[in-house]
Amino acid sequence: MSLQLPEKSVELGSARSVMRELFEYGKKRAAAVGAENVYDFSLGNPSVEPPAQVDECIRALLDAPQAASLHAYTSAQGDAGCRAAIAASLNRRFAAGAGADDLYLTVGAAASLTITFHALCCPGDEVLLLAPFFAEYRVFVEGAGAMPVVVPPHAPDFEPDAEAVRTALTPRTKAVVINSPNNPSGVVFSRETLEKLAAVLREKAAEYGHPIFLVTDEPYRELVFAGREAPWVPALYADTIVCYSYSKALSIPGERIGYIFVPQSAAEHDRVYAAVCGAGRKLGFVNAPALFQRVAAACDGVTVDVGIYERNAAFLCDALTALGFDCIPPQGTFYLFMKSPVPDAAAFCEKAKEFDLLLVPADSFSCPGWVRIAFCVPAEQLQRSLPAFEKLAQAFGLQK
């Protein structure tokens, strides 16, 4: 008996991502040589404790008299009171002009993006992905039946290049995805860059006679270091859709909560919001976890201690630069982007494994020749890893 299955699903489920492979390898090595001797910088799993408000809010919710209804179904797009509270927070912080019916609560940014692409894209539509980008975008865009079009990275500042975007746009472009603060580069896009990008999109949308949506993926919005700002994108470009997640701001990635915000300024707002609700329904992404809807509503705008990541960033960047590596000083997130000293970053990362350093070649972020180091680990682990980095530098003749 032969079984017909969608081969793409079988393929996606059979292969692990490079990061997951490394993570599994790290667990095996830890069992063999001791966890303290493996320096796993592969995954973006936050190490900083959630803010106290998160646990306090959960306790208060559980102790409240209405605790039974706490676990009941909510509206498909999320509890109206929770959406209103998040909208009020966005209005306080960004003058967003948001209302409850502009928000759709989701199980994190992955769902926000998936729903958004399903809401916007028709067969044959193209979605521009600006390298370096989170590898899963490709899966989400293709899953929605659209075609990813990669815009090459703009080294060494890794800001989006508006002119390269202009070249990649076609009448079939439905959306452009941006992610700032950026995984994997650690760069926070400047207001000037975003304004230039917005100007090109406005110009081309007018030329093509249809909107081009700017999908802004913002799980790291609050992880911004001193001296930088992450501008509120809908204020710069009307046809923006915000895909947000509380995973990193509150250090709760396993709890799965986020939202989609369709600003009133977006073209055909009501139809687009209906399409978001419909795509959520089609995908079965209705009623995000009820308890964490309440937590999100109470804690929107609350943030982990970003100073911990900022100190890690400075320590690692200074130490690696002193060893002769070429690094992009992180402006936010918990990722450091480092140039591979040889063109083949995968070969460099293989060598690093010999010193039990687990680094991710940025080929999987469509940025060959670079390496991502996730420094969301305890500071003492970073310190202990330096002798291994020193050996790695020596192996490539960098040591001064």
Residues at the contact surface with ligand PLP, assessed by CB under 6 A: 44, 108-110, 134, 179, 183, 217, 219, 245, 247, 253, 258
Give yes or no for a contact between 296 and 151, defined as CB atoms under 8 angstroms apart: no
DSSP, collapsed to helix, strand or coil, labels residue 348 as helix
- Minimum CB distance to ligand PLP, residue 114 (Å): 9
Q: Is 337 exposed, middle or buried (0-12, 13-18, 19+ CB in 10 A)?
A: buried
Angle made by CA atoms 278, 284, 286, in degrees to the nearest 5: 75
Angle made by CA atoms 165, 336, 135, in degrees to the nearest 5: 50
Give the rounded distance of the alpha carbon of 222 from its chain centre: 12
β-pairing verdict for 173-178 and 126-130: parallel
Distance CA 176, CA 130 (A): 8
CB closer to ligand PLP out of 42 and 173: 42
- Minimum CB distance to ligand PLP, residue 60 (Å): 24
Give yes or no for a contact between 35 and 358, defined as CB atoms under 8 angstroms apart: no
Quick one: CA dihedral 30, 33, 35, 39, positive or negative?
Answer: negative
Question: Which of 250, 248, 255, 256 lies closest to 334, judged by CA?
Answer: 248
Distance CA 277, CA 297 (A): 19
Name 318's Cβ contacts closer than 8 Å, sequence gap at least 6.
Answer: none
- Minimum CB distance to ligand PLP, residue 254 (Å): 9
DSSP 131: S
- Minimum CB distance to ligand PLP, residue 19 (Å): 9
CB closer to ligand PLP out of 134 and 273: 134
CB closer to ligand PLP out of 179 and 293: 179
β-bridge partners, 245? 258
- Minimum CB distance to ligand PLP, residue 182 (Å): 7
CB closer to ligand PLP out of 240 and 245: 245
- Minimum CB distance to ligand PLP, residue 366 (Å): 13
Give the rounded distance of the alpha carbon of 149 from its chain centre: 18
Q: What is the DSSP string of 164-212?
A: HHHHH--TTEEEEEE-SSPTTT-----HHHHHHHHHHHHHHHHHHTS--
CB closer to ligand PLP out of 148 and 341: 148
Give yes or no for a contact between 332 and 186, defined as CB atoms under 8 angstroms apart: yes
CB closer to ligand PLP out of 289 and 324: 289
- Minimum CB distance to ligand PLP, residue 392 (Å): 25
Radius of gyration of the chain (CA): 21
- Minimum CB distance to ligand PLP, residue 307 (Å): 21
CB closer to ligand PLP out of 19 and 319: 19
Give yes or no for a contact between 310 and 382, defined as CB atoms under 8 angstroms apart: no
- Minimum CB distance to ligand PLP, residue 44 (Å): 5
- Minimum CB distance to ligand PLP, residue 110 (Å): 3
CB closer to ligand PLP out of 41 and 389: 41
CB closer to ligand PLP out of 153 and 341: 153
CB closer to ligand PLP out of 139 and 319: 139
Distance CA 328, CA 398 (A): 17
